[in-house]
Structures are given as structure tokens and as C-alpha cells.
Structure 1
Amino acid sequence: MNQTLKQAIRWAAGQAPRSNPVKRKNTRIIVSNFADDPALATHGDFIWAVIKNTAHTSHNDSRPHITLHIKTADMTARKTTRAVHIYSKNDKEEEYESFRLFEERSDKESDGTPGDQVE
């Protein structure tokens, strides 16, 4: 379990779904369960995370997912990040299933800045 990562997870500024408490709650649960996934630890000790998008599809992934950007301390110093797609087991987006971690890349302005803590 990565308590450091769980405590560091933030919504991208302005992205928290304030008008949809169910979506907010489900996203929080799925992202928290992702931080507990032992498979994540094999990729590094992540200490920083921003939820870029709640459940959606994208041009490179037609499966509904949550997009999260994560960093280790070393990545923070180098100004790089890794995107993660987090998947749920069903269309209601209530239960964590798995994740897909993308290659490390340079930070972009469009990555978003940390906003509200995920509660």
C-alpha cells in the first residue's frame, strides 16, 4: 500500500466533479484502490499524483478510464511524469480493476496543476 501516494493525490485544478457527488466518490475509491495495487510498486515509489480526467475515452484508448499523472521524487526533480489509465470493472465505474502505465515524458502545461485533495 502506498500511503504517501494516497495522501498526495489531488484533482487537477478545476476538475473535481462538484455537481456530481457520486462520480466524485467513485473516482476517489477507484484511484485509492489503484494506489493500493501491489503491481504499481514494481514501477517505482510514486509520491505525487493529479487526476487529470474522470472516466472518459481518448484517442489512444477506447476503453473508459480515469487519467492520472504520477511522479516519483526523481521524476519531480527532472520535470517528467507518467500518465496512467485506471480501469473499473463495470460501466458504473464503482470498482477498480487494473491500470495501464505509459512511458515517462516531459511535463506539459496541459497536464494541469494540483488542486483540491481527493477526500
Structure 2
Amino acid sequence: MTEEQPSLAEQISQLVQALEHVRLFPSPRKLFRKDQFVVFERRRCQVIESEMGPQLHPTQDNKRITYKSLITGSIKHDPQFGLFARQTNGALNQETRVIKLNSISDICDDKREVARSSLTVERLATPKSTW
């Protein structure tokens, strides 16, 4: 029995999904503050556990999100990032890098992983005075 290969449209859809994928890591729980938060789509969201897993609920506090001008992070090797279980894509693996970013705002201490083109990553890692 042979496995059916996905159509070209399905392959493109999977690649777009992988490039748009973001893995969020909420702020850690603290001794007197058990709630966890994350900045997502320009909103501060509280992470609520449910039967379906963690859910993001926008907070109603209307606190303005001010983004940091300098964000630290690291490059991570993750050839399956954004793809279905145990899948890899050679072109995607060669042309993109997964970046783990530390907190992007002072409103909460969340982290995130995103995929970006290797050209963008090299430019971000290079001091501004050289480009």
C-alpha cells in the first residue's frame, strides 16, 4: 500500500502555515500571582486552562502595550517547526531559522518562537552600523 502524496495546493498550504506558525510561552507563574499572560495580536491575553487545552482570553484592563525597542533571543534548530508531526521540509529548513524571542513588552514576561527567512536572521544578527 502506497501513501498518497499531498497535492501542490496542500503542500503550499502547509508551507504557508509553517511560516505563519508562532509558538507562545506565557509568563511564568509567581508565588502570589498564579495567572499567566501573553502578548498576542497586539493584546494582552490571559491563559486559561480548559478541557481543550490552554485558551487565550483578551484582558479587559485596556493597558497600553508598549513594545521594547531591543528584544533578545536565540536561534534554535527545529526542522519540524510549524509542520505536522514528524514532517520536515528541506527547502523550508534551509531557507528559514526558528528564533526564540524573549519578552517583547514590559507588560508581561512571555516568550515566543517564530520562523523567519535566513536572510532576515543574518541581517538582524548583524550590528546596524554594518548594513
After TM superposition, the score normalised by the length of structure 2 is 0.27
Higher relative contact order (CA 8 A, sep 6+): 1
**Which has the larger share of strand?**
1
- Determine which structure has more spread, i.e. the larger CA radius of gyration: 2
**Which has the larger share of helix?**
1
